[in-house]
Amino acid sequence: MKLTFLGTGTSFGIPVVGCRCRVCTSSDTRNRRGRHGLLIETTEGRLLVDTPPELRLQLLQAGTERLDAVYVTHPHADHLHGMDDLRIFSLRSRRPLPVYVPAEYATEVRDRFAYIWDAESRDQPGMAVPDLDLRTFEDRTPVAVAGLGLLPIACPHGYYRSYGFRAGDAALVVDAKGIPEDARDRLQGLEVLILGALWRGDPHPAHLNVEEALDLAAQLGAKRTYLTHLTHRLDHADLERELPQGVFPAYDGLVVEC
């Protein structure tokens, strides 16, 4: 399984518009972070996780020419509002692209992108509208997506829930304040764990900070843990030096195998 980190930043992205802090003005390209996106590739297919606003640029950078399915963790703008960029894949393949969303958010996604599922929009001459097959999944009910067996896990995210998942020996939990106690046994024996980690100190009501993410990583015991969804309060090189063995800061374009 090949995992490509398309975007490793928070909703503001980095550099933050108008910010002159050390990270936003850094010459280290690992400090340039788009909004969250992850590409999973196996011999069976290619799965995109989330559709951030920079999606087109991220997919170009990764050299992605084909997708077999999309998994949406939750409908916040930084994870969803690049959905129109999916149209090239359905146009090229001439068939609907499956997009898996949590059942509790299906209506919200349809309403926010109503033109995608509006027959009149698709029938207008010259219109290039994504042809998406919206499918739903439930918490802790296994689902087959792009040849992968996924186990969705709903995690608290403020007033929302964000759906991480396990896929084989890898798991993703992003935009979450934690993992339910009764789901942690499903995340044992991992080769790779990807966790959101906003910043150091200052607890956030809807996100893990670095300290909380490290504590959770230690409990789950994955061989390798990658921190993502990082703010401009975290310099890549500084964080890399400070993290314990087996834990790494992710960066846009990072590729890992498991």
Measured CA distances, 255 to 100, 155, 164, 181 (Å): 24, 25, 19, 30
Please name which of 109, 116, 45, 46 lies closest in space to residue 79, comparing C-alpha atoms.
Answer: 109
137 Rama sector, left if φ>0, alpha if ψ -120 to 50, beta otherwise? beta
CA separation for the pair 216, 213 (Å, rounded): 5
Q: Residues 167, 161: contact at Cβ < 8 Å?
A: no
- Looking at residue 125, its pLDDT comes to 75
Distance CA 171, CA 183 (A): 12
> From the CB of residue 91, how many other CB atoms can be counted at a distance below 10 Å?
13
Supply 223's token pair: 């061989």
Q: Establish how many alpha carbons lie within 13 A of residue 53's alpha carbon, considering only the half-sphere containing its beta carbon.
A: 11
Q: Degrees (nearest 5) of the Cα angle 56, 61, 62?
A: 100
Per-residue pLDDT of the chain (258 residues; tens, 9 = 90+): 999 999 999 999 999 999 999 999 999 999 999 999 999 999 999 999 999 999 999 999 999 999 999 999 999 999 999 999 999 999 999 999 999 999 999 999 999 999 999 877 777 777 789 999 999 999 999 999 999 999 999 999 999 999 999 999 999 999 999 999 999 999 999 999 999 999 999 999 999 999 999 999 999 999 999 999 999 999 999 999 999 999 999 999 999 999
Give residue 180's pLDDT: 97
Report the alpha-carbon distance of residue 197 to residue 227 in Å, rounded. Answer: 6
**What integer pLDDT is reported at residue 94 of this predicted model?**
93
Length of the chain: 258
Q: pTM for the complete prediction?
A: 0.97
Q: In order of start, what are the domains of the chain with their CATH numbers?
A: 2-257 (3.60.15.10)
What are the CA-CA distances from residue 109 to residues 51, 78, 170, 221, 222 (Å)?
Answer: 12, 13, 27, 35, 33
What's the confidence (pLDDT) of residue 101?
Answer: 98
User: For residue 16, what is the DSSP state?
Assistant: P
The set of residues, in sequence order, having a beta carbon less than 8 Å from that of 2 and lying 6+ positions away, is 40, 41, 42, 255, 256, 257
